[in-house]
Structure 1
Amino acid sequence: MIAVNDRTTSNERVIGLDRAHVFHSWSAQAGLAPLVITGGSGCRAWDDEGTAYLDFSSQLINLNIGHQHPVVTAAIAEQAAVLTTVAPAAANLTRGEAAKRIVARAPERFEKVFFTNGGADANENAIRLARLHTGRDKVLSTYRSYHGNTGAAIVATGDWRRMPNEFARGHVHFWGPYLYRSEFWATTPEQESERALQHLERLIQGEGPATIAAVLLETVPGTAGILLPPPGYLAGVRELCDRYGIVLILDEVMAGFGRTGRWFAFDGYDVVPDLITFAKGVNSGYVPVGGVVISDEIAAEFDDVVFPGGLTYSGHPLAMASIVAAQDAMANEGIVDNAARIGADVLGPALHELAQKHPIIGEVRGEGVFWAIELVADRQTREPLAPAVMARIKSELMARRLLAITQDNRIHVVPPCIVTDDEVAEAVVVYDEVLGLLA
């Protein structure tokens, strides 16, 4: 038997085992050529043959604290030596400490956390809570969204991945704000906000307010393009939910815990939801975990009524230890503040300079370490760059040892929150060079 920590192997052997036995997500299997990642530290990762990459993907936009943070890896090892697993019905100190740290970042009147295995089932259980709370069925979410790949979460998702998976009931989609490609003929952020809110209210009225349990929104839609909400939009959605007795769920799975330069993204948008979902950045994905932060009003309903939901690994001790350590390290080391500074003073200005230089860039948008470069064939028509050209861009970035996320006609610039000024400068040189090839 080969030990799991055997490092005498090669990229060829790793790929051989992968192609023989691993079934990959969101992929046609036959033509895959997966990248080998064997180790990492901070903002860098490497393969079995020593080729190192600067990671500006944060893997799947979850590695907020960077690869192999020693405080977090030590905490996981310590917990493994004490207690590797415990049933969710038990009380456990590490679980309580993890929940305490999460609610400390939430607004007032949020004191309870339901732990899940990841972001998808966090959204799944938030939908369940909203339906039980209201006695209603429908869930409204935007077309430009991604909420996970479980039953209700994937149907709440707006993009193409929903369509082969539409088995859950009661989901209705609407258009959210996106001024660069406005569905509302808007020319200013204020117009986009006003008209998007009018569109949502008309949908609520058309569907029947008494049938709608929840509006589910990513605070900042991530996979759909790092779409910062325009002024007043989220506050306006909150007002509509209050007016019609609808639960507001904000999905902070990707945007939360430092990604926007704030602990929760919604802290910058004058809004307090009823339910908050999280995963990814809460522990940088070191151990699978997610959860729902529940408002006191909704939590109190289950004081004397059974909540009909549960997971074998809810509040798993190794995941809980990783949350405690990650949250403490992020606070003690000023990691969220670093993300805010990098976005405002280093990364944002550098990307805007690239936009001035390269006509292929239609728009740059973002905050913290959460940015998108939208690429176009023509700035006047805003025609998206063709898939074949985007594939070349991804290949050229990889050839220069930069791990990047490309989505549709965009490059998502999403390094760990610990990224340094020098690492940003290094990545920007690569973006500049690759985009220059297409001039």
Structure 2
Amino acid sequence: MSPTETVPDLMHGMTTEEICDITRKHNYGTWRYQKAWKPIQMVDAQDSHIIDGNGKRYLDFSSQLMCMNLGHKNAAVIESIAAQARELPYAMPGYATATRAELSKLLLEVLPSALTKFFFATSGTEANEAAFKIARMYTGKSKIIARYRSYHGSTTGSIAATGDPRRWAMEPGGKGPGIIFSPEVNCYRCPIKHTYPQCGIACADYLEHMIRNESDVAAVIVEPIVGTNGVLVPPDEYFPTLRKICDDNNVLMIVDEVMTGWGRTGKWFAVDHWGIQPDILVTAKGITSAYVPLGLTATTQKIADFFVDHFFAHGHTYEAHPMTLAPAVATIHEMQRLNLVDRAAELGPYIEAKLQDLKLRHPSIGDIRGKGLFWALDLVKNRDTKEPFNTYADKVAGIPSLVDQIAGKMMADGVTCQAWVSHFVIAPPLIITKEEIDLGIAVLDKHLHLADEKCSRGLPSGLTSITSNS
């Protein structure tokens, strides 16, 4: 370091305690009771690790909010942001820019092939709002069918289409006109009490029944693999069946790939596993590896052609903001250079085997679900009844969940993992190594005894649970 260079003051003249205290007092903690919020200070990150204000390193076992697919501090993405700021930090949506054109060309390479027209937003929830507007304008119809056990965002339209309890605080007004809910695809806890495969995909049949008994249905919105609400993977028959139902009834299919896109499941997009083409695809998070906020709403050319002679009634100041588009270009190039989509597919069986081994030794694990590097570990009081330790009602009431307690123990041991109601979402950066996967699983293994001790049904004969005391 030369005499004129200085080390950046990452603390801005404050202690980590002061930073956390000011944050807690003057900022809102999201989706929580404020009295329970105790944020830690994050000061740095690299690859698959984050570092707090005390210098402690944590393995990021859920890519923070299932969004940092490239990992932390990818040099090419960081440089793309700096270069765009030097070249052109802002252009209003009515202007063309080279970055906008370059990203559009790249999207044609990686998105499902039917999607050829793009609207850029600054978040997944805004991208879903655009999808709803486009569907309603294009079809001339108003109703959107969403599913329970879903999350589509926090703005008015997107929270109205969200099936989980985060919607409840906004009701009745927040539910929004024209949103109705169908059963989710959940073969572990089927909401309509059917058993796969004998059911013949009854949840899809039920959705078709709704369409035929409702007037004015414009679109169905689904997460191809449900995200925060349990990483629910549909049977292989589900999406071809749903595509036919939508086609037969002149209803658009919107797929919300905010969390499942960008290599997360071992394909560029989760719908690629089933070879279907959506009418509208929405994504965000991994599109820039979360380095800069960006959302995307992509439509078919058929929908695009409609607006040649019909008014497109949507837009905002930051649409196609060049500072958001440049890192998306760099992210796609980096994913291609590092072959991360194939890497996620290759590591999928490795992490699945590790999780299934945990299930053999921990009676509290009811189910393991996922694809690629996107998995859920579902905790239950009893494997026969599948009763969870906590419910949505507990979450809304502010009752601490068992998974949160275990996640806290894991964090103390240097691994961060997202917990929600009664399951963990395991979704590490796509650059994670097998050794780091082993570390994350070992720390989870160590603390699952907290759940095992509360189970009403033990392990099969001859198996022994590994606990922190073993």
TM-score, length-scaled by structure 2: 0.89
The alpha-carbon distance between structure 1 residues 324 and 295, as it changes in their structure 2 partners (threshold 3 A), is same
Asked if the contact 1:192–1:230 (Cα under 8 Å) also holds between the matched residues in 2, the reply is no
How far the C-alpha of 1:298 sits from its partner, in A, is 0.2
| CA distance in structure 2 between the aligned counterparts of 1:271 and 1:153, rounded to whole angstroms | 24
| CA distance in structure 2 between the aligned counterparts of 1:281 and 1:67, rounded to whole angstroms | 12
Match of 1:413 in 2: 426
Asked if the contact 2:231–2:375 (Cα under 8 Å) also holds between the matched residues in 1, the reply is yes
Match of 2:266 in 1: 261
Residue of structure 2 aligned with 1:199, choices 189, 193, 206: 206
Q: How does 1:9-408 map to 2 (within 5 A)?
A: 9-166=14-171, 167=174, 168-188=176-196, 190-192=197-199, 194-208=201-215, 211-344=216-349, 346-386=350-390, 387-408=400-421
- For 2:36, what is the secondary structure of its paired residue? coil
| CA distance in structure 2 between the aligned counterparts of 1:372 and 1:64, rounded to whole angstroms | 17
Asked if the contact 1:10–1:49 (Cα under 8 Å) also holds between the matched residues in 2, the reply is no
How far the C-alpha of 1:252 sits from its partner, in A, is 0.5
- For 2:42, what is the secondary structure of its paired residue? coil
Asked if the contact 2:183–2:192 (Cα under 8 Å) also holds between the matched residues in 1, the reply is no
1:363-394: per-residue Cα shift (whole Å, max 9, x none)?
00101110000000111111102454223212
| CA distance in structure 2 between the aligned counterparts of 1:157 and 1:119, rounded to whole angstroms | 13
Asked if the contact 1:7–1:48 (Cα under 8 Å) also holds between the matched residues in 2, the reply is no
Match of 1:422 in 2: 435
Asked if the contact 2:40–2:53 (Cα under 8 Å) also holds between the matched residues in 1, the reply is no
Letter of the 2:207 counterpart? L
Deviates more, 1:365-374 or 1:302-311: 302-311
Deviates more, 1:309-318 or 1:98-107: 98-107
The alpha-carbon distance between structure 1 residues 46 and 405, as it changes in their structure 2 partners (threshold 3 A), is same
How far the C-alpha of 1:23 sits from its partner, in A, is 1.9
Match of 2:447 in 1: 434
How far the C-alpha of 1:182 sits from its partner, in A, is 1.0
How far the C-alpha of 1:51 sits from its partner, in A, is 0.7
Deviates more, 1:175-184 or 1:236-245: 175-184
How far the C-alpha of 1:150 sits from its partner, in A, is 0.9
Deviates more, 1:103-112 or 1:335-344: 103-112
- For 1:148, what is the secondary structure of its paired residue? coil
Deviates more, 1:245-254 or 1:156-165: 156-165
Q: Percent identity?
A: 36
| CA distance in structure 2 between the aligned counterparts of 1:437 and 1:159, rounded to whole angstroms | 26
- For 2:128, what is the secondary structure of its paired residue? helix
| CA distance in structure 1 between the aligned counterparts of 2:140 and 2:295, rounded to whole angstroms | 25
| CA distance in structure 1 between the aligned counterparts of 2:10 and 2:402, rounded to whole angstroms | 39
Letter of the 2:445 counterpart? D
| CA distance in structure 1 between the aligned counterparts of 2:313 and 2:346, rounded to whole angstroms | 43
- For 1:191, what is the secondary structure of its paired residue? coil
| CA distance in structure 2 between the aligned counterparts of 1:148 and 1:31, rounded to whole angstroms | 23
Gap regions ≥5 residues in structure 1: none
How far the C-alpha of 1:407 sits from its partner, in A, is 0.7
Asked if the contact 2:187–2:234 (Cα under 8 Å) also holds between the matched residues in 1, the reply is no
Match of 2:458 in 1: none
How far the C-alpha of 1:232 sits from its partner, in A, is 1.0
- For 2:191, what is the secondary structure of its paired residue? coil
Letter of the 2:116 counterpart? E
- For 1:363, what is the secondary structure of its paired residue? strand
Aligned residues: 433
TM-score, length-scaled by structure 1: 0.96
| CA distance in structure 2 between the aligned counterparts of 1:217 and 1:15, rounded to whole angstroms | 37
- For 1:101, what is the secondary structure of its paired residue? helix
Gap regions ≥5 residues in structure 2: 1-7, 391-399, 453-470
| CA distance in structure 2 between the aligned counterparts of 1:16 and 1:185, rounded to whole angstroms | 48
Letter of the 1:317 counterpart? P
1:114-155: per-residue Cα shift (whole Å, max 9, x none)?
001110011111011111111000000101100001111111
Asked if the contact 2:81–2:327 (Cα under 8 Å) also holds between the matched residues in 1, the reply is yes
- For 1:162, what is the secondary structure of its paired residue? helix
| CA distance in structure 1 between the aligned counterparts of 2:195 and 2:144, rounded to whole angstroms | 29
